[in-house]
C-alpha cells in the first residue's frame, strides 16, 4: 500500500485563508515508493543489458526519490534515471492544493522542453502527449526527445513525465554516440530510447496508482 492518505480525518481537506487548501486532499500521496525498487530487474536487463553501475547513495526523502543506473559497455553507453516527487500543498500555486502544485510544475517542465531558455544551452525538444498511462483521468503524460551535440559526441535523450494527482514521475533514458576517444560508442536509435522511457514510466506510474 503506497500511502493514499487524505487529510487524516477521512473527510474534506482543511481549508484555511478563504478557499486556500492547506492540507492534502483525499487520494493525494504524501510518500512515494523508493525509485530504486520501482524498476524490475528483468526490465533493467532488457533495456540496459550488461553490468550496471547504480549511483550511490540514491536520493530518498520519502516524498522525493531518485535512482540512476548506468551501463558503460562499448559500443553501448546508456543511462536510466527515475525520479518520483510527491508535491505538498503550497500557497504559491493556485488554490494551494498539492495536485495543483504538481500540475503547474508538470506544465512548466513541458513548456521548458518545448521552449528552453536562451541561456540554457539546451536544444528545443520534440514534445508528444502520451495516452494509456495508469490512472485514467487523474493522469497526464508527455514525452520530450532531444539531441545534444558537444565536443564531437552526440547524446540522444528521451524524457517521459507522468503526473498522477500530486505526484510527478520522471524517467530519462539517454544514449551516447562517440566515434573518437579511447572508448567508442554508438550508434544510437532514438526509437529505442523512447520505447525504454515509455515502458519504464508506465511501470513506475503503476506503482503509485491505487
Alpha-carbon distance 109 to 6, whole Å?
26
Task: Give the chain's length.
Answer: 210
Q: Taking a C-beta distance cutoff of 8 angstroms, is the pair 176, 206 a contact?
A: no
Q: pLDDT by residue (tens digit) across 143-194? A: 999 999 988 899 999 999 999 999 999 999 999 999 988 899 999 999 999 9
Q: What is the DSSP string of 32-65?
A: ---GGGSS-HHHHHHHS-S-EEE-SSPEE-SSEE
* Residue 120 pLDDT level (bands cut at 50, 70, 90): confident
Q: Which residues pair with 82 in a beta bridge?
A: 67, 171
Buried b (16+ CB within 10 A) or exposed e, 115-128: eeeeeeeeeebebe
Q: pLDDT confidence of 14, banded at 50, 70, 90?
A: very low
Contacts for 201 with CB less than 8 Å, ≥ 6 apart: 133, 141, 160, 161, 162, 169, 171
Distance of CA 136 to the CA centre of its chain: 18
Per-residue pLDDT band at 9 (split at 50, 70, 90): very low
Please name which of 78, 75, 48 lies closest in space to residue 175, comparing C-alpha atoms: 78
Task: State residue 163's pLDDT score.
Answer: 98
Report DSSP state, residue 90. -
How wide is the angle at C-alpha 105 spanned by C-alphas 100 and 108, nearest 5°?
125
Instruction: Summarize pLDDT for 56-111 with one digit per residue, the tens.
Output: 878 899 999 999 999 999 999 999 999 999 999 999 999 999 999 999 999 999 99
pTM score, whole prediction: 0.89
What CA–CA distances, in Å, run from 125 to 10, 36, 147?
43, 27, 8
Amino acid at each position: 500500500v503506497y500511502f493514499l492518505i487524505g487529510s487524516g480525518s477521512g473527510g474534506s481537506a482543511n481549508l484555511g485563508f478563504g478557499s486556500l487548501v492547506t492540507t492534502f486532499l483525499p487520494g493525494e500521496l504524501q510518500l512515494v515508493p523508493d525509485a530504486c525498487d520501482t524498476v524490475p530487474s528483468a526490465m533493467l536487463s532488457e533495456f540496459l543489458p550488461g553490468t550496471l553501475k547504480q549511483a550511490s547513495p540514491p536520493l530518498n526523502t520519502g516524498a522525493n526519490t531518485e535512482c540512476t543506473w548506468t551501463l558503460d559497455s562499448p559500443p553501448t553507453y546508456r543511462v536510466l534515471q527515475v525520479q518520483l516527487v510527491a508535491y505538498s500543498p503550497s500557497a504559491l500555486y493556485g488554490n494551494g492544493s498539492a495536485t495543483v502544485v504538481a500540475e503547474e510544475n508538470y506544465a512548466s517542465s513541458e513548456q521548458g522542453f518545448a521552449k528552453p531558455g536562451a541561456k540554457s544551452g539546451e536544444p528545443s525538444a520534440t514534445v508528444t502527449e502520451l495516452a494509456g498511462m495508469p490512472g485514467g483521468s487523474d493522469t497526464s503524460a508527455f514525452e520530450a526527445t532531444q539531441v545534444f551535440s558537444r565536443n564531437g559526441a552526440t547524446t540522444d535523450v528521451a524524457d517521459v513525465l507522468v503526473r498522477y494527482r500530486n505526484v510527478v514521475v520522471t524517467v530519462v533514458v539517454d544514449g551516447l554516440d562517440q566515434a573518437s576517444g579511447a572508448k567508442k560508442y554508438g550508434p544510437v536509435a532514438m526509437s529505442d530510447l523512447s520505447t525504454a522511457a515509455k515502458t519504464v514510466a508506465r511501470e513506475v506510474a503503476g506503482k503509485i496508482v491505487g
